[in-house]
Structure 1
């Protein structure tokens, strides 16, 4: 049901296959449980919705001509928004009796079906209703923190299935026809193909139709300038505000490239159209056959190269092959692997390796024994830990599966999954089945350990030795798995006196000795040096980054008590926004020596503002410094009012802990930059001017316990 994802360095804008916030998942799970106890789950076959939007009143009036299976059933029940009024229910020009029963924020609408209508295979129920929707975003410029699900306003319209703007049942798969009436000057878009559009007497009537089933229907309207082109039989639309028309060609051309790429990899695009739709508040949502991007988001230059392709791919995974959530949500991880990761792979090997390393780092930084869970239990992202598991671990599972079966079988299997399950639900069992069929091998062990078990391997090198033998050299290494032993295809790289040797060894015990013979003398060895295996990393493999500090639930955020009053207030507000359930926020005058030496620290303010900055900044890396009214980051000096910088380092007293220094040269610079920091989690240092990132980087890791040198 729910797809949460984020691509590249994008600020925390939710990109979703559907756009329900996580709390709504819990609500719907509760409702579904109650529903199962009290009602029969009638199958909805189709919706034919006629809706008029009254923007200045934040109001809608609608009729849903809903076709349902109700043979021999005395009643039909569905959910609808609890703030709406159901005006009437009818069928075949006959009024039907109904009642509403409040459940949480919604209504159960219970309709009595007369005996003469129960004889047919299906019946059309005409449900007329009206109501107001106005969940105003907390900010039009910042991310959609509040999880707006329904708003009707002169600035624009956004209605998601989460706000129950049309009657529905949990888990339904239905076809949709939607006719939208808006004031002239507004354009409406939803899933499916454009059937008709006309403007009469100051109103615009637009009809969209999707004959194939969908898990839900989102409706958007705004003062758009519409551009449309046909690309190999697919209608591509750009619904952009007039001031962003300069971006249209870039987005349309990129859409063409992505459609061509994924049709070649997976099969024909499942819809007749794809639309890029601009929103008046900040979103990054993906729906069946269109994406909704905030007016600030569309201007970010990397969105076209990352997030757009991710959302287009969701039309294969999630929007047409649905997720059987009883087995866990596989869709977000596969889409991440075939989009975000795949683009790095197309760029170069180093970028792909960095992405795999980042997946393992985030898991190591954010996931503990207390918050870990198996992939079969992943439904949607709600924090960094669930994202590291549901998106990152799942992506790496597909990567390891691809390396094991080879590219030909991998993509053949995915094409079979798409072809065999389009417009149906699929789960991990179906994925296993298509890979076993294509590769002619038993994969039960692979899916059991990676899907049904929590945690990840933690590898160490035990005793290693090199021996000269008659026809060369033998390298012996002990590979140790802590706690739980996984069956792993483990890459081993040997640097030789003459060239290099690369191989893959199979390990599955908690302690195994591997022997490798070479003709040339080994100089060093490394296991999994390029992060091909999903695993927990050693502390020495993890650079100091924002995630390294924020992933520690016991991090102490320290705000300054000196300096200008406006800066102090800005820092304190930022500190309170970072606090976690276990984390602490303290003034620099309240920090203890034990906390300084034993905790990860997030220190806000320069040396004239925060006493810890002055005390600990001597541990900053070379080419980085904090002074009075000036900073140096990566050898570049910053001293303008709009500048803000961040630098991380190890805690000198405890190498397993980290320290972050963040400072801005004005309250405005702190406010514009501070909320973005968690979204740059993989970086070690950042520099901003007027809220725009102008430099970022990751400190190199030069040592690893999984490497050994044999040089004398």
Structure 2
């Protein structure tokens, strides 16, 4: 959820976010010294910067939104203008030149265009009298288009604190102002600066190689959970040090954000203050951000060959922590990845090689879900211990360097006798997924020949459950190519039942019996049809388009529309009418879980009616347009569920329809 790269706003920034044009990394990275003063009343940032251009770091960029006030360049530097940046370059033939400049930036208010948190979770720059955020993506400091070491000195009024990635060196009062100094001795690509009114708590833990400073910068409402977060950070860091290797930084800080979104960056995570107390933040999002310090920050991504870090981090953090507590919960998470995949359109699907960052539901499904499942299949292919040893070697070899899926492949190849070329080639560069089928014939009195067919050449281990008249066997076979045949010893039987991948360990298309409706199906639906059955409730089409869907509602119909093309359909009515439609749905035998609906402000259920994917939305007659907008917006966070209802007290209930197994019978 939270590991979100800053918003792409320019061609230069595209290089930062997507890795299209990184310059060669220098043996000695460029160093930048920044002296910053934040004027909270004017929302203006005053900056003095000093850095050195060299043959290996010959150019930097500074946002055109900055007003340059003084400039002390060496003779060997030229300054040009691009569309959105001042471009400072070393003259041809020069070996080195140092520059010092002062400039200032005005920050927009958070509610102004270009400074809000999007539904994708990205946060743009903004400032108020009590907080400010400057993302590195805005080129607010000299950006070399390659990792740099940075030292920041930040001055604010005494009531405010500054925080940035890197090690906090000191915090002191000076002439009635607060001064904070940070040292980023490990090269960093993109520096984010946060300023706010926080209560700071600290803890020093003993890491594998050095002491690690843990910090919380929490608003007053979350101060009571600071100790819990410090203890959780220590627990997760110790766990992943044993699993991967030494933690790569000298500190880790959790910062409460006034924005309704979150960010991850080296040694720091910035999380909405409204959700810090939620269990999923503590149990999944927090370890996710901590693991990113190894994958994505410690080992950077070679984006030309796809972003592997989100999938590996999701697998090692979100999934690994769930699997430690419950195999059933881990199976449910794997099913969730496949179910999300079933809800995206062919036109929105991309390969892992093409994925760079999350920008809508489909990209998240591929870059996080599919990639995590690929690492799960890799682990099942080479074995648990070789997989862990591969990750440890990968960390030792590539820390503070850029790496690709190919580098992961080559490293894992050192830990298995199986040729991993086909595995990586079929999963990284392709779209689509296996659709599995079987054929069973008796080859001898005691054996049967089983053929597994798929619609491509994907390679993976496939788990099978085979039941005869009186015996049942479980086995795993490596699938390669469109057809794989092997012998199974089940003897002579009158009937045989076969289940393929019953525990959802393969990235594949789900069978129709395995598909259950989810709310996410409609968040990402293409050109959904809208039908409002009753006029005694809010006209909801515009609200649903604005606050819930990724694709706008284009066609609105009355209650008698028959939908011959069976396009995804949203049916809106009062609670009584929606209850009647629930009784005609494919999940009618399960709607008792939603009952009673009296006293309900909103009910939402994703199901099928007459073979058409249908989202039923029941709305209380008394609910206002404003309150409905809030409830519809919140519903996006329940995408993996089949249904939810919000009662008048504000309590939300949610659930999932039952999954039916696919059984091949012979």
* TM-score, length-scaled by structure 2: 0.90
Partner of 2:419: 442
- Are positions 1:101 and 2:52 aligned together? no
Partner of 2:155: 181
- Are positions 1:592 and 2:561 aligned together? yes
Match of 2:126 among 151, 155, 160: 151
Classify 1:137/1:271 alpha carbon distance in 2 versus 1 (closer, same or farther; 3 Å): farther
Contact 2:117 2:261 in 1 (8 A): no
- Are positions 1:634 and 2:619 aligned together? no
Partner of 1:9: none
Matches within 5 A, 1:474-485: 474-482=447-455, 484-485=456-457
Partner of 2:224: 246
Query: Shift in Å at residue 272 of structure 1?
Result: 0.6
Measured in 1, the distance between the counterparts of 2:478 and 2:536 equals 59
- Are positions 1:417 and 2:413 aligned together? no
Match of 2:644 among 657, 663, 686: 686
Partner of 1:301: 279
Match of 1:211 among 185, 189, 193: 185
Residue deviations 1:187-229 (CA, integer Å, cap 9, x gap): 1111111111110222111101011101111111111110001
Measured in 2, the distance between the counterparts of 1:212 and 1:519 equals 63
Measured in 2, the distance between the counterparts of 1:31 and 1:274 equals 23
Matches within 5 A, 1:334-413: 334-368=312-346, 370-413=347-390
Query: Shift in Å at residue 141 of structure 1?
Result: 11
Partner of 1:85: 67
Residue deviations 1:399-433 (CA, integer Å, cap 9, x gap): 11100111111011111111111111011121111
Partner of 1:201: 175
Query: Shift in Å at residue 81 of structure 1?
Result: 1.7
Query: Shift in Å at residue 651 of structure 1?
Result: 2.1
- Are positions 1:261 and 2:239 aligned together? yes
Measured in 1, the distance between the counterparts of 2:24 and 2:59 equals 8
Query: Shift in Å at residue 636 of structure 1?
Result: 3.7
Task: Name stretches of at least 5 consecutive residues in structure 2 with no aligned partner.
Answer: none
Contact 2:72 2:99 in 1 (8 A): yes
- Are positions 1:456 and 2:433 aligned together? yes
Contact 2:374 2:427 in 1 (8 A): yes
Partner of 1:224: 198
Partner of 1:324: 302
Partner of 2:497: 524
Measured in 2, the distance between the counterparts of 1:189 and 1:614 equals 55
Partner of 2:103: 129
Residue deviations 1:585-643 (CA, integer Å, cap 9, x gap): 41535x63235x722212223256x7x87567532634666xxxxxxx615424336x3
Q: Which moved more, 1:579-588 or 1:380-389?
A: 579-588
* TM-score, length-scaled by structure 1: 0.85
Partner of 1:673: 631
Classify 1:136/1:517 alpha carbon distance in 2 versus 1 (closer, same or farther; 3 Å): same
Classify 1:315/1:551 alpha carbon distance in 2 versus 1 (closer, same or farther; 3 Å): same
Measured in 1, the distance between the counterparts of 2:173 and 2:343 equals 55
Contact 1:672 1:691 in 2 (8 A): no
Partner of 2:587: 621
Classify 1:441/1:622 alpha carbon distance in 2 versus 1 (closer, same or farther; 3 Å): closer
Measured in 1, the distance between the counterparts of 2:499 and 2:528 equals 33
Measured in 2, the distance between the counterparts of 1:649 and 1:691 equals 26
Measured in 2, the distance between the counterparts of 1:527 and 1:320 equals 38
Contact 1:669 1:690 in 2 (8 A): no
Measured in 2, the distance between the counterparts of 1:40 and 1:709 equals 58
Residue deviations 1:84-106 (CA, integer Å, cap 9, x gap): 11123325xx6887544141xx2
Measured in 2, the distance between the counterparts of 1:163 and 1:440 equals 47
Measured in 2, the distance between the counterparts of 1:148 and 1:142 equals 5
SS, match of residue 305 in structure 1 = helix
Classify 1:415/1:146 alpha carbon distance in 2 versus 1 (closer, same or farther; 3 Å): closer
Partner of 1:64: 49
Partner of 1:708: 664
Contact 1:526 1:708 in 2 (8 A): yes
Contact 1:561 1:587 in 2 (8 A): no
Contact 1:317 1:331 in 2 (8 A): yes
Measured in 2, the distance between the counterparts of 1:253 and 1:32 equals 32
Residue deviations 1:511-570 (CA, integer Å, cap 9, x gap): 344320046967522111111111112222211222334444242133455004xx33x5
How many residues are treated as equivalent by the alignment? 656
Classify 1:607/1:192 alpha carbon distance in 2 versus 1 (closer, same or farther; 3 Å): closer
Classify 1:420/1:30 alpha carbon distance in 2 versus 1 (closer, same or farther; 3 Å): closer
- Are positions 1:506 and 2:461 aligned together? no
Task: Name stretches of at least 5 consecutive residues in structure 1 with no aligned partner.
Answer: 1-5, 7-14, 626-632
Query: Shift in Å at residue 240 of structure 1?
Result: 0.6
Partner of 2:526: 553
Matches within 5 A, 1:15-94: 15-16=2-3, 19-21=5-7, 23-24=8-9, 28-29=13-14, 45-70=30-55, 77-90=59-72
Measured in 1, the distance between the counterparts of 2:563 and 2:178 equals 67
Measured in 2, the distance between the counterparts of 1:690 and 1:290 equals 38
Query: Shift in Å at residue 683 of structure 1?
Result: 1.2
SS, match of residue 329 in structure 1 = coil
Query: Shift in Å at residue 380 of structure 1?
Result: 0.9
- Are positions 1:169 and 2:118 aligned together? no
Measured in 2, the distance between the counterparts of 1:477 and 1:441 equals 23
Contact 2:545 2:552 in 1 (8 A): no
Query: Shift in Å at residue 26 of structure 1?
Result: 6.3
Measured in 2, the distance between the counterparts of 1:163 and 1:460 equals 51
Measured in 2, the distance between the counterparts of 1:231 and 1:687 equals 44
Classify 1:427/1:602 alpha carbon distance in 2 versus 1 (closer, same or farther; 3 Å): same
